[in-house]
Amino acid sequence: MRVLITGTSGFLGRIIKNELSKNEVFDLNRFSGSYQVDLSKNIPRLDKQFNLIIHVAGLAHSVPKTKEQIEQFYKVNVTGTLNLLNGLDRSYLPKMFVYISSVAVYGESNAELINEESALKAIDPYGKSKIDAEELVLNWCETNNVVCTILRLPLLVGSNPPGNLGDMIKGINRGFYFNIGGGFAKKSMVLASDVAKFLLKAAEIGGIYNLTDGYHPSFFELSINISKQLGKSIPMNLPVSVARLLAFAGDFLGKRSLLNSDKLRKITSDLTFDDSKARKAFGWNPTSVLKGFKIPNTH
């Protein structure tokens, strides 16, 4: 199978590329790969016909602080997707298209077992850009009779992860991480390697799916797992009452603060997603994050 993957210089894209290496894989990135294109600015010139397109490239793991940074989410995630689709229009149509989306599209910060039928209520720049990109992909695939798969992913877990999980590992390693209120809030997570392993099955069937590990670990459980792997003591607990005072101060300090009331609410609230649709559709049977998560170079 001839496959084009965008964003293989990133965390998930790199793992997907390695998993599909037995196929004829081409990749598209800004500064490396088979095609070097900045999709937020240019339409790619694709000179081959691909059976499958996997669109991973996108902007995440940052909180925009300026108007320019907010616009960048739209340019990368929406304009970038549109430019890729226009490039395919000008060359050859694939049989299948997979778009890597996010559970952020639901716009929820405190809910349990959200399924794919739930409303897309995101209003933040990242979540909204993912909603818009999903719509572009769905319409394009329907118009061109391409099998469309959208994977809505929660926190991705794997070696050297970016974003909040990467920060958590660094914090525990340096002794700077605290669980708040016991860290009992449950969050959906999934191993990036499991997403990569099941991707071809999903691509052949099509549809919109949440993917999780099915267990939804708490911050406390995850912090114990990380601490043991790093050979560090279990993180101390910060009482919610103390955290509220720090968050209240953070509300006044603004962008300079590491904690505010909004962040505190998210940290202490359950947020889980239902992946039963994927389990029924293509046999999604992932490994528990707490069993499969390995931190490299711990010694």
Tens of pLDDT along 216-234? 999 999 999 999 999 999 9
The arithmetic mean of pLDDT across residues 113-134, rounded, is: 97
The pLDDT confidence band at residue 266, using thresholds 50, 70 and 90, is confident
What number of CA atoms fall less than 13 Å from residue 78's CA on the CB side?
Answer: 15
Among 158-162, 166-170, 259-263, 267-271, the range scoring the smallest mean pLDDT is 259-263
pLDDT higher for 244 or 141?
A: 141
Q: What is the mean pLDDT of the chain?
A: 94
* 185 has a pLDDT exceeding 80: yes
Q: What is the mean pLDDT of residues 67-78?
A: 93
The CA–CA distances, whole Å, from 156 to 34, 145, 163 equal 26, 31, 9
More confident residue, 102 or 257: 102
pLDDT surpasses 90 at 255: no
Confidence of residue 280 (pLDDT cuts 50, 70, 90): very high
Average pLDDT over residues 52-60: 96
The pLDDT-based confidence of 64 (bands split at 50, 70, 90) is confident
Give residue 257's pLDDT. 66
Q: Does 62 score more than 80 pLDDT?
A: no
Winning range, highest mean pLDDT, from 14-23, 58-67, 161-170:
14-23
What is the C-alpha to C-alpha distance for residues 193 and 200, in angstroms, rounded to an integer?
13
Q: What is the percent of the chain with per-residue pLDDT over 70, rounded to a whole number? A: 97
Span 56-79, mean pLDDT?
88
The rounded distance, in Å, linking the Cα atoms of 147 and 296 is 37
Residue 60 CA: distances (Å) to CA of 41, 75, 238: 18, 12, 28
Average pLDDT over residues 50-72: 89
Does residue 299 surpass a pLDDT of 70? no
Q: Is 110 exposed, middle or buried (0-12, 13-18, 19+ CB in 10 A)?
A: exposed
Q: Residue 55's pLDDT band (boundaries 50, 70, 90)?
A: very high
Note the pLDDT of residue 251: 83
Q: What is the CATH number of domain 2-157+190-212+273-286?
A: 3.40.50.720
Dihedral angle computed from the Cα positions of residues 71, 43, 22 and 163, in that order, rounded to the nearest 10 degrees: -10
Q: Give the mean model confidence (pLDDT) for residues 23-37.
A: 97
